[in-house]
């Protein structure tokens, strides 16, 4: 059942815009049944306007935009965007340093692309299972619960940002600290990965209460 | 004289409470229709036109001429319409002289809705029986898929008008789910007529917009104009062909006018989508709004102008990418009793 939680300025019949250029250049024979139906539906329904953060250029990435929005404070998108670009630059610099110092045989294993490092680090930080508070007979238990994709991504990004804001020396800048954390997460080390493992252990410990979940 | 302040329910009812919308009898409506037709003929005579071929538009024009009104609300001006449009349809009395209701579902409170649900379910069972018969005889089931893209179901308001009863959102969604279930079965073609009563055609032509042809200026260079808006910003863009990719806003280069990368990305979005970055020159004027709103307005204006340079298929691709829709999101108003549009005042215990 579709229940609109908040109302939006768009009519409910408006569909989301699709910005990827390559999807439009595909010839019609290679489309599957579902894609054909979707194309037909799109031809009839009106479509929402593309938001200002979305663009068809190579440089716009939905994950990076989401992360920038979460880092933003008081609506200062300019500052958040500049911090993000400085972080990616810092990652690239560190990786290049490592690349030039490494011996010949290890040069291929070092990843220099900051976007790949960012995506891989986020993936490594995502928890598989989460805990939720369920009250039964007066006592509140922490019950292990499966998480949706959106929730996993949100938790990974939230942990990274809180970790960078709190556990750092007063004089270190945010991009430096963020790049450090991202590189550690990329290699499956660091405090964020530790937090994820702690959560998994708690879920394993409270396995007995898993039957309290009714959804 | 004393005036009763604390009254009981019986006394309040006796003193004339609200009894709902007025109920008209059939005889009353008939009389109104006769009066309307007579009045129509008189009006035609007055205006000097033929009483036989006097349409509703002519009536509206005549009334607007004879009784000019400067009122803003169109519903408040004098109007002469057929009584079925003015008096809403009402349910006839649903019980006989002995007080026994006619319909067997009267005591559910929504007899027409529940009887409709029963009917639809009966059709569903019919279709299933037919399907079973075909499988028993080993005949192939008809698999022609109905084109779902061209039709939509009745809205809740339209259904309420049809049934003359108030429905809740829950009831409406249950009915639509039943209809969708019926349509999803392979042998639903038998009940096609019944389904068509509840579906409406959607006009397939969403591209009702007329695209302006290219104009040519003195040097022979093709150009086209477009207008766009976003929040409070209004922009006009003129795109010239055979250019180098220079973009000027209010006489200033975009590097100086939009120091932020995100805004420049938005300006180049339509060009990058069509692959025409170095081929066009753009001169735009923009006023109002903030930094991001101005960028969005110019983006819409340039997308509209680019439509004249590009094939129809690419225009459709631009529309599906969300480049040609004006963003309707504006600042929400502040409500009384709250600090902002959504934020409430700090709750204090005492």
Give the CA-trace dihedral at A62, A67, A73, A77, to 10 degrees.
Answer: -40
Question: Does A134 reside within a domain?
Answer: yes
* Distance (Å, whole) CA B132 – CA A104: 72
Which chain B residues touch A22 with a CB distance below 8 Å?
A: none
Asked if the structure places residue A156 within a domain, the reply is yes
Instruction: Kindly give, in sequence order, each residue whose CB lies less than 8 Å from that of residue B123, ignoring residues fewer than 6 positions away.
Output: B182, B191, B194
Residue A33 lies in a domain: no
For position A191, which CATH number holds?
A: 1.10.455.10
User: Chain B closest CA to A32's CA: distance in Å?
Assistant: 16
Contacts of A44 in chain B (CB under 8 A): 149-150, 202, 204, 206
**Residue A58 Cα, gap to closest chain B Cα (Å):** 10
3-state secondary structure of B213: coil
Q: Please return the burial class of A195, using the count of CB atoms within 10 Å of its CB with bins 0-12, 13-18 and 19+.
A: middle
pLDDT of residue A98: 92
Residue B185: per-residue pLDDT:
83
pLDDT tens-digit series, residues B32-46: 999 999 999 999 999
Query: Is A18 at the interface with chain B, CB within 8 A?
Result: yes
In tens, the pLDDT along B168-189 reads 999 999 999 999 898 888 878 8
User: Is residue A22, in this structure, part of any structural domain at all?
Assistant: no
Q: Which of B152, B268, B329 has the CB atom closest to A9's CB atom? A: B329
Nearest of A92, A86, A93, A85 to residue A65 by alpha carbon: A85
Under a CB-based contact definition with an 8 Å cutoff, are residues B176 and B198 in contact? no
First to last CA, chain A: 16
3-state helix, strand, coil in chain B (%, to 5): 45, 10, 45
pLDDT, one tens digit for every residue, chain A (215 residues) = 444 456 788 877 788 898 888 888 876 666 677 887 788 788 878 889 999 988 888 888 899 999 999 999 999 999 999 999 999 999 999 999 999 998 888 888 888 899 999 999 999 999 999 999 999 899 999 999 999 999 999 999 999 999 998 888 888 899 999 999 999 999 999 999 999 999 999 999 999 999 988 88
Report pLDDT for A3: 46
In a domain, A34, yes or no: no
Least confident range of B80-89, B200-209, B227-236: B200-209
Residue A135: its H or E element: strand A129-136
Q: Number of folded domains in chain A? A: 1
pTM over 0.80: no
Question: What is the predicted pLDDT for the residue at A1?
Answer: 41
B212 confidence band (pLDDT: 50, 70, 90): confident
Please indicate whether, in this complex, the C-beta atoms of B322 and A50 are within 8 angstroms of each other.
yes
Residue with tokens 């008209």: B24
The minimal CB distance from B269 to the residues A40, A55, A77 is found for: A55
Nearest CA in chain B to A37: B149
**Containing domain of residue A136, as a range?**
61-212
Lowest-confidence region among A199-208, B140-149, B189-198, B292-301? B140-149
Strands, sheet with B247-249, edge to edge from the N-terminal-most edge strand: B215-216, B222-230, B233-240, B281-287, B247-249, B252-253
Name A109's Cβ contacts closer than 8 Å, sequence gap at least 6. none
Residue B186 is given by DSSP the state: T
- Please, are residues B106 and B165 in contact by the beta-carbon 8 Å criterion? no
Does residue A11 lie within any of the structural domains? Answer: no
Q: What is the pLDDT of residue A138?
A: 92
Q: Where are the alpha helices (DSSP H) in chain A?
A: 21-25, 33-44, 62-71, 77-101, 114-125, 149-166, 174-186, 190-205
Q: Which of A44, A48, A53 minimises the CB distance to B322?
A: A48
Residue in chain B nearest A59 by alpha carbon: B265
* B31 CA to centre of own chain: 35
C-alpha triplet B216, B221, B222: angle, nearest 5°: 55
Q: Give the mean pLDDT of B103-129.
A: 93
Chain A residues whose CB is inside 8 A of the B202 CB are 44
Tally of helices (H runs) and strands (E runs) in chain B? 12, 8
Least confident of A89-98, B60-69, B151-160, B261-270: B151-160
Let me know if residue A194 belongs to a domain.
Answer: yes
**Among A4-18, B4-18, B296-310, which stretch is predicted with the lowest mean pLDDT?**
B4-18
Q: Which of the four pLDDT bands, split at 50, 70 and 90, describes residue B148?
A: low
- Do residues A185 and A124 touch, judged by C-beta distance below 8 A? yes
ipTM of the complex: 0.86
pLDDT tops 90 at residue B19: no
Q: What fold is seen in the domain B215-321?
A: Ribosomal Protein S5; domain 2 (3.30.230)
Q: What is the pLDDT of residue B234?
A: 95
For residue B39, the model assigns a pLDDT of 92
* Residues of chain A contacting B300 with CB distance shorter than 8 Å: 49
Window from A33-42, B173-182, B254-263, B311-320 with minimum mean pLDDT: A33-42
Does A44 sit within 8 Å of B204, measured CB to CB?
yes
Does residue A79 lie in a domain region?
yes
Write out the DSSP string of B113-176.
HHHHHHHHHHHHHHHHHHHHHHHHTTPPPP-PPP-GGGEEEPPHHHHHHHHTS---HHHHHHHH
CB–CB contact A57 B149 (8 Å): no
Q: Does the beta-carbon distance from B320 to A49 stay under 8 Å?
A: no
Return the pLDDT at B207: 62
- The residue extents of the domains of chain B are 26-86, 106-201, 215-321
Q: Which residues of A touch B296 (CB under 8 A)?
A: 52
Cβ atoms of A46 and B204 closer than 8 Å: no
């Amino acid at each position: 059942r579709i229940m609109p939680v908040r109302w939006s300025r768009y009519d409910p019949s408006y569909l989301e815009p699709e910005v990827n250029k390559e999807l439009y250049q595909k010839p019609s024979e290679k489309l599957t049944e579902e894609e054909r139906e979707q194309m037909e539906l799109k031809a009839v329904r009106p479509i929402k306007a593309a938001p200002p953060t979305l663009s068809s250029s190579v440089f716009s990435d939905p994950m990076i935009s989401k992360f920038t929005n979460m880092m933003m404070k008081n609506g200062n998108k300019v500052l958040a965007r500049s911090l993000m670009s400085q972080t990616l630059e810092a990652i690239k610099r560190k990786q290049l340093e490592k690349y030039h110092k490494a011996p010949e045989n290890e040069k291929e294993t070092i990843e220099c692309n900051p976007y790949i490092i960012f995506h891989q680090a986020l993936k490594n930080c995502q928890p598989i299972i989460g805990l939720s508070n369920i009250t039964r007979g007066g006592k509140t238990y922490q019950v292990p619960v499966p998480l949706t994709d959106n929730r996993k991504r949100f938790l990974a990004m939230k942990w990274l940002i809180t970790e960078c804001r709190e556990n750092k020396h007063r004089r270190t800048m945010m991009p430096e600290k963020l790049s450090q954390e991202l590189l550690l997460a990329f290699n499956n080390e660091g405090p964020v990965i530790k937090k994820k493992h702690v959560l998994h252990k708690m879920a394993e410990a409270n396995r007995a209460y898993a039957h309290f979940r009714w959804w | 004289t004393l005036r009763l302040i604390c009254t009981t329910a019986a006394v309040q009812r006796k003193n004339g409470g609200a009894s709902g919308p007025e109920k008209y009898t059939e005889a009353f409506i008939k009389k109104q229709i006769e009066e309307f037709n007579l009045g129509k003929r008189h009006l035609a005579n007055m205006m000097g036109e033929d009483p036989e071929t006097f349409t509703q538009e002519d009536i509206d024009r005549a009334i607007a001429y004879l009784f000019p009104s400067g009122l803003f609300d169109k519903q408040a001006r004098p109007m002469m319409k057929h009584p079925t449009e003015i008096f809403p349809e009402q349910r006839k009395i649903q019980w006989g002289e002995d007080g026994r209701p006619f319909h067997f579902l009267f005591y559910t409170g929504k007899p027409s809705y529940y009887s409709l649900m029963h009917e639809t379910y009966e059709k569903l069972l019919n279709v299933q029986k037919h399907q079973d018969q075909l499988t028993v005889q080993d005949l192939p089931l008809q698999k022609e898929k109905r084109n779902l893209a061209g039709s939509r179901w009745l809205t809740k308001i339209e259904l309420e008008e049809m049934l003359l009863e108030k429905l809740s959102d829950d009831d409406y969604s249950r009915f639509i789910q039943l209809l969708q279930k019926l349509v999803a079965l392979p042998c639903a073609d038998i009940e096609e007529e019944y389904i068509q009563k509840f579906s409406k055609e959607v006009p397939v032509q969403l591209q009702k917009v007329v695209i302006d042809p290219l104009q040519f200026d003195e040097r022979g260079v093709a150009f086209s104009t477009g207008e766009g808006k976003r929040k409070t910003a209004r922009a006009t863009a003129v795109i010239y062909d055979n250019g180098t990719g220079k973009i000027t806003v209010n006489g200033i280069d975009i590097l100086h006018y939009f120091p932020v990368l995100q805004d420049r990305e938005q300006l180049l979005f339509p060009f990058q989508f069509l692959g025409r970055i170095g081929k066009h020159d753009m001169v735009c004027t923009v006023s109002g709004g903030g930094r991001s709103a101005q960028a969005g307005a110019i983006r819409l204006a340039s997308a509209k102008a680019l439509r004249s340079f590009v094939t129809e298929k690419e225009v459709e691709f631009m529309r599906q990418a969300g480049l040609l829709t004006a963003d309707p999101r504006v600042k929400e108003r502040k409500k009384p009793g709250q600090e902002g549009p959504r934020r409430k005042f700090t709750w204090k215990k005492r």
